[in-house]
Amino acid sequence: MASDNSQQAVLAEQLLELAMQSGAEAAEVFQSQSLSRPVFFEANRLKQLESSQAEGIALRLWREGRPGLAVAYGPVAPHALVERAIALSYLNDPETIELSSSTKATYPDLGEAVPVEQLVAWGKEAIALVREAYPESLCSAEWECDVETTRLINSKGLDCGYTDTTLSCFLGAEWVRGDDFLSVSDGQTQRGRLDPVALAQQIVQRLRWAEKNTAPPIGKVPVLFTAKAADMLWGTVQAALNGKQVIERASPWSDRLGEPVTASALTIYQQPDAGPFSCPFDDEGTPTQPITFIKDGVLQLFYTDRTIGKALGSGTTGNGFRPGLGSYPTPGLFNLLIQPGFKSLMELIGSLKQGIIVDQMLGGSASISGEFSVNVDLGYRVHNGEVVGRVKDTMVAGNVYTALKNLVELGEDADWNGSCFTPSVIVQGLSTTGRVE
């Protein structure tokens, strides 16, 4: 890997030099290398081990102010890539060149790799624990160690990079009882170590709650979104905080800076060195920074890249990210943290006289308008502070912004769901419909 990294470093510098020799006023090279070793389990048994390696490079240049972007994966012909970028620049309109100034930064590696043998052992342990409680269940799982190296250099002297090692796992359990099919799943993303015992306990708890089916509550009742389901709410919040949506007047919070936009119990922020989605710089080479977006319900700031930050007059917040190598930077988040509350999940459940727990959803996304209507793939009814059974054929509908203004309580059980660190949350103002037998 060391020799590969050395060759890639030479290639990046060669591309930058060729671009400038070909008449570009400015240029940047973005490199990405990844090595993944996933372990797969199916029907309670180890199925296969894999190893996949990928590398890609993107050259972005400006010639006569016109941007051109060319991408290559695997072996690269430097002259051909530069010619392609220049040819594409003729098709674009001139723009202001936004590049980070001269900086050379060496960031420490993030995370620790673990051997495949450890991944296999964790997978077997988790499956054994689930089957000890529910021998008739069929478990599938994926445990993975992923190492990704990123480097960005440009014609202004910027040169920064880091290596990021992430561990992740997924565990699913299927339980068939006659005509009743139940599928429960959960996962973890961490650095250094995964916890198969905690993951198995979460699956077993959901299976136990689902031993009995019951009718859902109908009408407007409190809804408890578990940590893994609450991400639907925060996805809408992320869109509303996007500076690009503000410029386009699509965000309902465009003119609400300094005003309350949610219940006062809610504080939302990003922390560059927090968790497995930590990140020292964005894809434009700007160092990332701690940002509080909403504090005690009051809107503080939007996130931006260089172009959007200039248009808003706020400057970049260090949130310019590429959706893919072949894309231009756009405002994005690398992590989003919801400040948790003080009660455990069981204490939150105990506080409900009537309500519904949403744990898994089908089509669980809301537009930036906040409106949504989702089928509950896995949910439970709460009566007098206790889970009384699983609900089927149930839908939850409403508006995310309304729900967040009617936030009842946040749990202490915050966990990473994708790149969002979220606790369980109880909200009001949503409608529940379902089949009552």
Q: Containing H/E element for 388?
A: strand 386-391
Q: Containing H/E element for 289?
A: none
Q: Terminal CA-to-CA distance of the chain, rounded, Å?
A: 61
pTM over 0.85: yes
Helix 2-21 vs helix 78-89: angle between axes, to the nearest 10 degrees? 40
What is the pLDDT tens value at each position of the chain, 437 positions in all? 445 556 777 899 999 999 999 999 999 999 999 999 999 999 999 999 999 999 999 999 999 999 999 999 988 899 999 999 999 999 999 999 988 887 777 788 888 899 999 999 999 999 999 999 999 999 999 999 999 999 999 999 999 999 999 999 999 999 998 888 999 999 999 998 999 999 999 999 999 999 999 999 999 999 999 999 998 899 999 999 999 999 999 999 999 999 999 999 999 999 999 999 999 999 999 999 999 999 999 999 999 999 999 999 989 999 999 999 999 999 999 999 999 999 999 999 999 999 999 999 987 667 899 999 999 999 999 999 999 999 999 999 999 999 999 999 999 999 999 899 999 999 998 999 987 65
Task: Identify whether the C-beta of residue 419 lies closer than 8 Å to the C-beta of residue 430.
Answer: no
Length of the chain: 437
Residue 268, sorted as left (phi over 0), alpha (psi -120 to 50) or beta, turns out to be beta
Q: Cα separation of 41 and 268, whole Å?
A: 36
Q: Give DSSP secondary structure letters for 182-244.
A: EEEEEEEEESS---HHHHHHHHHHHHHHTTSB-PPP-EE--EEE-TTTTHHHHHHHHHHTBHH
Token duo for residue 19? 């671009």
Strands, E assignment, 120-179: 138-154, 159-177
